[in-house]
């Protein structure tokens, strides 16, 4: 299951982890976010089986981490950021098919 990260753990867990990170900026009250949760869980399970720990899956609650959402210009939930070596390498917004997320991960590994 994706690890919840916040403003205090984001640098260590995401920016300095040496891996590709797929970060789900979500809200507990967001219906599309709830629709994406099982998709992300399935994707994480499949990609972890294939790539081990080369990809970090994280979740940021935009309601509790508004500064972090603002820093990354997240204007709606869900927003999926792909970060590698401390830099954003991709972004997708809204409900996405699992295949689209998977291809974005593979392109950035």
Catalytic residues: 30, 33
Q: Is the CB of residue 15 less than 8 Å from the CB of residue 7?
A: no
> Which of these, 22, 33, 25, lies nearest to 55 by C-alpha position?
22
């Amino acid at each position: 299951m994706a690890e919840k990260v916040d403003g205090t753990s984001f640098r260590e867990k995401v920016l300095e982890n040496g891996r590709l990170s797929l970060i789900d900026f979500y809200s507990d009250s967001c219906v599309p976010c709830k629709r994406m949760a099982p998709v992300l869980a399935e994707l994480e399970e499949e990609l972890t089986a294939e790539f081990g720990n080369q990809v970090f899956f994280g979740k940021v609650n935009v309601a509790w981490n508004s500064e972090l959402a603002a820093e990354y210009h997240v204007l709606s939930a869900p927003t999926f950021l792909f970060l590698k070596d401390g830099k954003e390498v991709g972004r997708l917004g809204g409900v996405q098919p699992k295949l689209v997320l998977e291809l974005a991960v593979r392109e950035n590994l």
